[in-house]
């Protein structure tokens, strides 16, 4: 005789299962800057992408199980191509894609025994910063309209707290990367991890480009941006020491000219 499980308990078990799966993976960040939208995700693989182009001015970022969000990415590309072909390229929008993804994930979550362990972001860059669109879609099909920045993945809340401290309107690209790195490297104990260009996947939607605005940042270009965004260790140490002296009210030590010279000194 089969056991009865209430719909509420079944949905709760599915949600807990999906959250645990997503939490085991690495997080990602999407953040606006003055010339577009920046995507940053820890990803040492050069072949398996978490960030991809969907259409002319639209990009996709995801965390969770690669095989599942790759299915969603491909389906989104087909949806966008078919919509642009049947109607007009301007009819393909991030809002439409977000609604389509929400319906798809909601159906999978409700009807399938196992939900997708994914969290995705669909973003569209506009001609003006105020018109940019960023949508976060969770494993159960819930859609959130985000403004300025969004963190996704297992450490999303902690990263979002750091991003809130660093984010300002009209950030430069290096400033946006600095904010993203600060969020991704923050640890619960207050320390920060070291991160290099080879450990990151970085891309932008550049509003200054015509037609296709998506481009990846790699190699020397990414390393130079990280160098601008990350102060040297010596500078960090001096800054921390200066801040500590300011908090304690103690001035830096100076040479005491009142002490007599040692015997025999000239």
CB 119 within 8 A of CB 137: yes
Instruction: For residue 89, give the DSSP letter.
Output: G
Query: In CATH, what number is assigned to the domain containing residue 16?
Result: 3.60.20.10
Q: How far apart are CA 68 and CA 74, in angstroms?
A: 10
Q: Tally the domains of the chain.
A: 1
Q: How far apart are CA 181 and CA 33, in angstroms?
A: 14
What are the beta bridge partners of residue 180? none
Give a yes or no: residue 254 inside a domain.
no
pLDDT of residue 237: 42
Give a yes or no: residue 39 inside a domain.
yes
Give a yes or no: residue 2 inside a domain.
no
List the structure tokens of 87: 């109607």
For the ranges 168-177, 178-187, 228-237, the one whose mean pLDDT is highest: 168-177
Cα-based distances in Å from 184 to 2, 5, 29, 148, 187: 46, 39, 8, 16, 8
pLDDT of residue 211: 86
Give a yes or no: residue 103 inside a domain.
yes
Q: For residue 106, is pLDDT > 60?
A: yes
Q: What is the span of the domain harbouring residue 78?
A: 7-248
Q: How far apart are CA 153 and CA 63, in angstroms?
A: 6
What pLDDT band is residue 189 in, cutting at 50, 70 and 90? very low
Give a yes or no: residue 263 inside a domain.
no
Q: For residue 247, is pLDDT > 80?
A: no
Q: How far apart are CA 243 and CA 240, in angstroms?
A: 5
Most distant CA pair in the chain, distance = 102
Q: For residue 186, is pLDDT > 90?
A: no
pLDDT of residue 236: 44
**pLDDT digits 0-9 by tens, 36-56:** 999 999 998 888 999 999 999
The answer to whether the predicted template modeling score (pTM) of the entire model surpasses 0.85 is: no
Strand (E) or helix (H) holding 133: strand 133-137
β-bridge pairing 28-33 and 149-152: antiparallel
Q: What is the mean pLDDT of the chain?
A: 85
What are the beta bridge partners of residue 123? 59, 134
C-alpha of 187 from chain center: 16
For the ranges 4-8, 25-29, 61-65, the one whose mean pLDDT is highest: 61-65
Give a yes or no: residue 163 inside a domain.
yes
Give a yes or no: residue 261 inside a domain.
no
Nearest CA among 34, 245, 18 for reference residue 115: 18
**pLDDT digits 0-9 by tens, 43-101:** 988 889 999 999 999 999 999 999 999 999 999 999 999 999 999 999 999 999 999 99
Q: For residue 4, is pLDDT > 70?
A: yes
CB atoms within 10 A of CB 241: 11
Q: What percent of the chain has pLDDT over 90?
A: 64
Three-point CA angle 122, 180, 183, nearest 5°: 110
Give a yes or no: residue 1 inside a domain.
no
Nearest CA among 190, 144, 183 for reference residue 164: 183
């Amino acid at each position: 005789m089969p056991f009865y499980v209430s719909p509420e308990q079944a949905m709760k078990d599915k949600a807990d299962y999906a959250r645990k799966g997503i939490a085991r993976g690495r997080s990602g960040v999407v953040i606006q800057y003055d010339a577009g939208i920046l995507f940053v995700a820890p990803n040492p693989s050069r072949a398996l992408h978490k960030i991809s182009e969907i259409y002319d001015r639209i990009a996709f970022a995801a965390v969770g199980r690669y095989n599942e969000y790759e299915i969603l990415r491909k389906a989104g590309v087909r949806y966008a191509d078919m919509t642009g072909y049947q109607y007009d390229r301007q009819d393909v929008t991030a809002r439409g894609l977000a609604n389509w993804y929400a319906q798809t994930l909601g159906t999978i979550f409700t009807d399938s025994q196992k939900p997708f362990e994914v969290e995705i972001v669909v973003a569209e860059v506009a001609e003006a910063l105020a018109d940019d669109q960023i949508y976060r879609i969770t494993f159960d099909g819930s859609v959130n309209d985000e403004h300025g920045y969004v963190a996704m993945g297992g450490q999303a809340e902690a990263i979002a707290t750091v991003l809130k401290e660093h984010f300002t309107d009209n950030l430069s690209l290096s400033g946006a990367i600095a904010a993203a790195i600060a969020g991704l490297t923050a640890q619960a104990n207050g320390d920060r991890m070291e991160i290099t260009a080879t450990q990151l996947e970085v891309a932008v939607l550049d509003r200054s480009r015509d037609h296709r605005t998506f481009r990846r940042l790699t190699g020397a270009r990414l390393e130079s941006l990280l160098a601008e965004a990350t102060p040297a260790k010596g500078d960090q140490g001096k800054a921390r020491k200066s801040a500590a002296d300011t908090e304690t009210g103690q001035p830096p030590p100076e040479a005491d000219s009142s002490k007599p010279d040692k015997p025999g000194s000239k």
